[in-house]
């Protein structure tokens, strides 16, 4: 039995049924969790992310960072922060493209927020020339203006599931039935306080998902850029507006599984509620840009133009590959519509938009 599953079972025996958030936290980021010690990315792993699909993704984000730095008044020193940098692919591609501005490269200090030892080793290899500093959480990043990137981090942050019943909202919990884990219902936790106006329309059986961890993180990011200056770009999959529905899922070897089936051995994710992130950032005083569908964002940054330029210099097979990669990133039935992009900036930013993103 996977050690993460063992510790979840032990906790249920000792503490009683656990919330979905506690199970997710323990299975992913607990001492023996899925994200602690191995590389889950790539064709031989469990899933592929946009920077692993095409180098154009990271390159365009690198140019977005240079443009945003200029809009912020080109501070002489700033922290370039990536949270959950995976194999370091996005940042390596971004910093290569950022060579268009020697001043940007000179001004940046690179910080990586990562909890996975195997991925940290890969990031160290890829990004050695840029002398990164690693942190377990955003709190470790020193004060000062920052530009922060997070691609597919928020979907791994724990969610609570609340279910509407004839008695009102109940918390979805995970209990033991003999040897098997199963869902049950219990009195709602304090997460109830995070329900959004759209959740009020719930009928019997409807599920609402709220993520105190995501709200706390976006609040921390927003507060920092409000007080210290800077901007953030968050990319992930989920709806632009809060809504109802069960999006808790497991991904293993590129296939969806029932979430309680392979705890510790599969990625557990939930859709990111961009409506809730935007509201929390506004409450913290930040300016919000988007959310915008990833396809529209990348198109506005010129991904098709870039692919055409690269294809002109390449052989026919490489040209086809480049166009297939762009299709995967921007087509609505691929990653173009489900994935959203949101930008945050401090009040110091004097601009009606950030690259590819209009003001809220």
For ligand SAM, the binding residues (CB under 6 A) are: 29, 35, 41, 49, 51-52, 83-86, 90, 113-116, 119, 151-153, 156
Q: How far is the CB of 220 from ligand SAM (least distance, A)?
A: 12
Largest separation between any pair of C-alpha atoms in the chain: 65
- Identify the burial level of 208 via C-beta atoms within 10 angstroms of its C-beta, where 0-12 means exposed, 13-18 middle and 19 or more buried: buried
Q: How far is the CB of 119 from ligand SAM (least distance, A)?
A: 5
Q: Around Cβ 147, how many Cβ atoms within 10 Å?
A: 25
| CB nearer ligand SAM, residue 103 or residue 117 | 117
Q: Which two tokens stand for residue 338?
A: 């489900």
| CB nearer ligand SAM, residue 134 or residue 183 | 134
Q: How far is the CB of 102 from ligand SAM (least distance, A)?
A: 26
Mention every residue, 6+ apart, whose C-beta is less than 8 A from residue 115: 29, 35, 36, 136
- Residue 223's alpha-carbon distances to 34, 64, 119, 272, in angstroms, are 30, 22, 28, 20
Mention every residue, 6+ apart, whose C-beta is less than 8 A from residue 352: 358, 359
Terminal-residue alpha carbon distance, the chain: 48
| CB nearer ligand SAM, residue 113 or residue 226 | 113
DSSP 332: I
Q: How far is the CB of 138 from ligand SAM (least distance, A)?
A: 9
- Residue 309's alpha-carbon distances to 69, 100, 319, 330, in angstroms, are 26, 17, 10, 17
Q: How far is the CB of 148 from ligand SAM (least distance, A)?
A: 12
CA dist., res. 350 & res. 357, Å (int): 14
| CB nearer ligand SAM, residue 27 or residue 349 | 27
CA dist., res. 250 & res. 69, Å (int): 37
| CB nearer ligand SAM, residue 90 or residue 288 | 90
CA dist., res. 62 & res. 152, Å (int): 17
| CB nearer ligand SAM, residue 54 or residue 163 | 54
Q: How far is the CB of 120 from ligand SAM (least distance, A)?
A: 9
Q: How far is the CB of 182 from ligand SAM (least distance, A)?
A: 26
| CB nearer ligand SAM, residue 64 or residue 169 | 64
CA dist., res. 27 & res. 139, Å (int): 23
């Amino acid at each position: 039995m996977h050690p993460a599953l063992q510790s979840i079972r032990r906790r249920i025996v000792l503490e009683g049924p656990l919330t979905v958030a506690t199970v997710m936290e323990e299975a992913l980021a607990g001492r023996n969790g899925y994200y602690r010690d191995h590389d889950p990315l790539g064709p031989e792993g469990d899933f592929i992310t946009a920077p692993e699909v095409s180098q154009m993704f990271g390159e365009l984000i690198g140019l977005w960072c240079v443009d945003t730095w200029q809009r912020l008044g080109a501070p002489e020193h700033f922290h370039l922060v990536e949270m959950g940098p995976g194999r370091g692919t996005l940042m390596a591609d971004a910093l290569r493209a950022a060579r268009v501005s020697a001043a940007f490269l000179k001004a940046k200090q690179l910080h990586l927020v990562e909890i996975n030892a195997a991925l940290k080793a890969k990031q160290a290899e890829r990004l050695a020339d840029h002398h990164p500093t690693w942190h377990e959480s955003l709190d470790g990043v020193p004060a000062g203006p920052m530009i922060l990137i997070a691609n597919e981090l928020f979907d791994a942050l724990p969610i609570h599931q609340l279910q509407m019943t004839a008695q009102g909202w109940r918390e979805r919990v995970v209990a033991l039935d003999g040897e098997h884990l199963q869902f049950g219902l219990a009195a709602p936790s304090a997460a109830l306080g995070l329900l959004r106006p759209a959740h009020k329309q719930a009928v019997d059986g409807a599920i609402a998902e709220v993520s105190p961890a995501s709200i706390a993180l976006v609040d921390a990011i927003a507060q920092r850029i409000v007080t210290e200056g800077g901007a953030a770009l968050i990319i992930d999959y989920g709806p632009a507006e809060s809504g109802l529905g069960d999006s808790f899922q497991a991904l293993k070897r590129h296939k969806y599984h029932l979430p309680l089936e392979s705890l510790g051995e599969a990625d557990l994710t939930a859709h990111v509620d961009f409506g809730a992130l935007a509201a929390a950032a506004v409450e913290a005083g930040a300016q919000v840009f988007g959310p915008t569908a990833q396809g529209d964002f990348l198109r506005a940054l010129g991904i098709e133009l870039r692919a055409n330029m690269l294809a002109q210099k390449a052989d026919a097979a490489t040209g086809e590959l480049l166009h297939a990669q762009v299709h995967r990133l921007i087509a609505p039935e691929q990653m173009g519509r489900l994935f959203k992009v949101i930008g945050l900036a401090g009040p110091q930013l004097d601009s009606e938009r950030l690259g590819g993103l209009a003001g809220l």
